[in-house]
Structure 1
Amino acid sequence: MNDKLNLYNERVKRLKDAIELREPDRVPIYGLVDNWALSYYGATLNEVLKDPELEYQVYAKALTDFPFDGALAPGVTMPLNFVHALGGGIFNNNTETIQIATGQSELMRPEEYDDLIADPIKFIRDTIFPRKYKIFQEGTVEEKFGRYAYALSHFFKYVQSLQICSERIKQEYGLPITNGGVNLFMPGDLIMDYLRDFKGIMRDIKKCPDKLAEACMALVDPLLMNTFGVLHSPTDDKYVHLYLHLPQYIRAKEFEKVYWPSFKKYVDIVAARGLKILILFEKNWEHLYEYLQEFPKGSVIGFFEEDDLRKAKKALGKNICIAGGLRTNDLYYASKEKCIDIAKGLIDDLAPGGGFVFAPDKVLATKNDAKAENLKAVTEFIVEYSAR
């Protein structure tokens, strides 16, 4: 057991060195594994939703068959049983992975921004929840409360299961699960995903940007309360996880007005508490690098999907740890030799001086996101090649 804990501590330090822009003993490898674990094991999403032990075995295998130094989560990354118990939601699990059903999130009208700004929690609780979830749409207050309590029991089971699985993976395999229990969208993403949908928020950016920006700022304090309620103090092995997916669709000036102020405020306050922040920068962020250069040094690890990592490190490497690497398309369709050659070039160019973590360019969600033999060949090569 001590060997596993020693391995755990080595991996934690390796990632910490990279995030704090020091050169670690070798390039850390991060396991961006989500529902790809299902196909790798040979299980279905519905099967693991019904069987917590199977879920653990599925994800433990996918996370520990490869020499990862950290991973996002030890199981399914959305509390789907909770969502279904509420009688609503935008997630569909009738496939091999979790899919978002689009066009179902325009629940707030533009004229209601003032209500959201005045009291975000009250507005979402008293106005949005009854519109969205069937359990609040009929019956007495007592009946609604009973149904909500039942749904919450699924949520608490989900959280407890993730905590147990994270600890088991630590003790049994020495692998850090960096999810500290805080998985957030930033205010602009929350408004898009759960209140206005894509078309709605795009209209708002043009027609009422001031209201949108004010609403984003109003949501920062509730998000901070949630963050510090879960992560009371900084630890080296647990991070805040942020998933961003609106900015890449808007121009820099729009980003600066409606998204950046609340985003920066949240990151600055969290980093000032000593917490590390893992951010998934979806799509391409090159047009926004000048803003990201303002992030606090040594607090953020940024996973970039479509950016040229060499450009990203040149522009941002003085304050952000750059993470990414092989395209999922190459991990599935290319030869092992080509994958290794790409990885070698990335390490040669990005590893010197530290501040680089190797990972796929996207979260592995479906079986076509990676061939196991390619992933294994690349990760084992990196362990040997990048060691100092």
Structure 2
Amino acid sequence: MRSADNAAPAETTSSPQPDRHPAPERVSPRERRVPYPLVLALLGAALAAAVVIGLAVGSVSLLPSDVAAVLVSRVFPGWIDPGWPTAYETIVLDVRLPRVLLAGVVGAGLSAVGTALQALVRNPLADPYLLGISSGASLGAVAVLVSGATLFGAFATPMVGAFAGSVATLIAVHALAGSGGRITTTRLVLAGVAVSYVLSALADLLLSTAADPHLLSSIRFWTLGSVAGAEWETLPVPVTVVLAGLAGLLWQARSLNLLFAGEEAAGTLGLDVSRFRTGMFVLVSLMTGVMVAVSGSIGFVGLMVPHAVRMLVGADHRRVLPAAALLGATFLVLADLAARTVAAPQEVQIGVLTALCGGPFFVWLLRRQAHRERGDR
């Protein structure tokens, strides 16, 4: 009879038995992330709900069903028997809908521009407001409005001035922040804040010398951010520019990904960094100039929304840009709703509310960036 010691080698040479209770596999953060189509569907539903609420709530409150019926009756005449007062159509279609649409377009555009700027300058603190681009666009538009120039038409001329101001400001901030070909977070923010203060002071100087007091009050209200002046006649230009700009940014999403990873890596993979960055600067300046011309300076939207979206969908700009546009539109529609209801019958400028939200977020982001630079994270 074989002993247990003799049997042991035979047991060790046998094939290993599968573990009946394997350890659970570790799920990566990418695998735990919500599927991208579901994110877009949820953001689209949130935007639709925000639009309906924005159309229903105001000095005259309407039921969401009444709002939906008015919209459907306008798109498909004869489908619904109009059993509501005629004033409902005026309130929804002529007063509130242009305002809600402009807020959505500006919110989407600011979020897309902020996303692109953060990749172009490789800085998470980049934003049209913080970099002074909005202030430059405001100064250009104010200069045109105060001078009364109408070279390109009463509506288009302020947009041209805003575009010129935003381009010049972006060039100045980029030149001031650069040192030895390298741009740091601190220099970029300081250059943007310094240029923004100077340009805001110049805009105030122009306003203080304006002869028309009515023009002065309306421009001051506009410079703090407002879509109260939205009309159907003013919508085509910003809608066209923002949609075309979004399409252009999406078309260059792969190049933005390369630049976000680093200039050397992007150049190695065949991207002409200087030429690409110049073209993108012109595009985002055009978008910012047009948005500032119709809504004034609205800050921090382009800073907050891209970071929130990256937490949901990652850093790929092919995913970030559409999601940021939807979330930015939703955010600004709700911000405009709060602006016209929180202190009713008085109206608060949207820029004030976005600053109240963006200020604490900026402080948190700045501290987070400082921890990263020190290697604490």
- Using the size of structure 1 for normalisation, the TM-score is 0.25
- Larger of the two Rg values belongs to structure: 2
Please identify which structure carries the higher helix content.
Answer: 2
More strand by share: 1
In the superposition, the TM-score normalised over structure 2's length comes to 0.26
